[in-house]
Amino acid sequence: MPVFNNYCNGKWTGSESGETFEVRNPADPDDVIGEFPSSTADDTRDAVDAAVAAQAAWEDTPAPDRGAILRRAASRLESRSDEVAELLAREEGKALPEATGEVGRAVGILYYFAEKALDLGGEVKASSSQDTRLETKTEPLGTVGLITPWNYPIAIPTWKLAPALVTGNTVVLKPASRAPAVAHEVAKCLDEAGLPDGVLNVITGSGSEVGGTLTTHDDIDAISFTGSTVVGQQVGETAAADGKRIQLEMGGKNPTVVMPSADVSTAAEIVSDGAFGGTGQACTAASRAIVHEDVYDEFVDELVAAAEDISIGPALDVYDMGPHVSKSELEGTLDYVDVGVSEGATLETGGSVPEAPRHESGYFVEPTVFSDVSSEMRIAQEEIFGPVVGVIPASSYEEAVTLANDTKYGLSASIVTQDLSEAHQFADDVEAGVVKVNEKTTGLELHVPFGGMKSSSSETWREQGDAGLDFFTTSKTVYLNY
């Protein structure tokens, strides 16, 4: 069995406890990906100490030199992309083409922030005094804790790591216990690229032991968290009470609005891709289709056909949709199917475990479509995190927007329309941090801000692009009278 260790102060070591946990392939639970340390609070404190000790020298390293390390790491990851994608597909269950795309995304993020290193430093401003030079100086926060989820186990750690490192921070990363192996691959690439000891530390283990220690440690200056709303709010409250800077990206209940001017077949394809890609295990997944009554019946038929056309199977066999990441996630989705039926929604297709021989041992579920859904139903309000979409009728644009906003979440939203006025109006009216027109709710460009509203986010600092750099830095204003 492969054994994975923590990466602490430039060395690969186990936990002081000697205890481990296994990660298994959700398509075939007999396939053990590896054994990982069940790290303790003391292990985590050791990692923080290493990061603090390394911070001053890393901050003093010229930003272009920091960027060069990221560039070399990107090249190494790119050269291994096929094997890393296979590892990702095995440990998380994501279909191989999706896993390959995610690894490519991580490579792109490293290259992007490597180039951004050339622009770091500050700005010179005009002073109202004749003999004064007025400038800003950008500095890192210090040592930061990153807590990342299992559903994008290489992209999300990388889009937090890259801006944190390139701006001169040192890092302790806690990857999700369900899919930690690919985060280790990023650490290996950075280590081989020449990252100094202690600058990055990767610690696996429980949220209470590792995450809790990071959140409360006096020497952690900021926490960036992506995960569930319940856990994120707890992390945010604890970290903020200690005066830490916080960045929280959490759940979603994302709508796609379909208007009468839309091509219905195209609209169904957009919703299908957004709802069922990644087995629906995305915070930006489309879980509500709000459809104008003039095209409602046609849309339901098209969406059902699209769902039933999706092939389901083990990720490495290149099916369209893989399994849930765990038995508990599968059971949660099946429970919500029962909830939808009990609430009176019409189960149009799916909602069961498929019965082919290839599905016997894994955590597979069929893509699921409900019609006759109303906004007060639990399946229209609660995040399911599975391949389930509810279709809600609307009689007008105004009602559709009201329904789209009728949830505590506000992460991603889209509209399918050929009416330019509706498209612009929707961007103004919808309560979401990401708004798309004639596109699925999932999928993000790496160089623009990402984040949500309401319970989807702390609404403090955005991720990615220049916004990602802003979170990990602070600035001084310098008045130089010559």
Q: Which one of 98, 102, 185, 249 is the catalytic residue? A: 249
Q: In sequence order, which residues have a C-beta less than 8 Å from that of residue 276 and are 6 or more positions away?
A: 307, 310, 320, 321, 367, 387, 389
Q: What is the CB neighbour count within 10 angstroms for residue 381?
A: 16
Active site residue 249: yes
Q: Which residues are catalytic?
A: 249
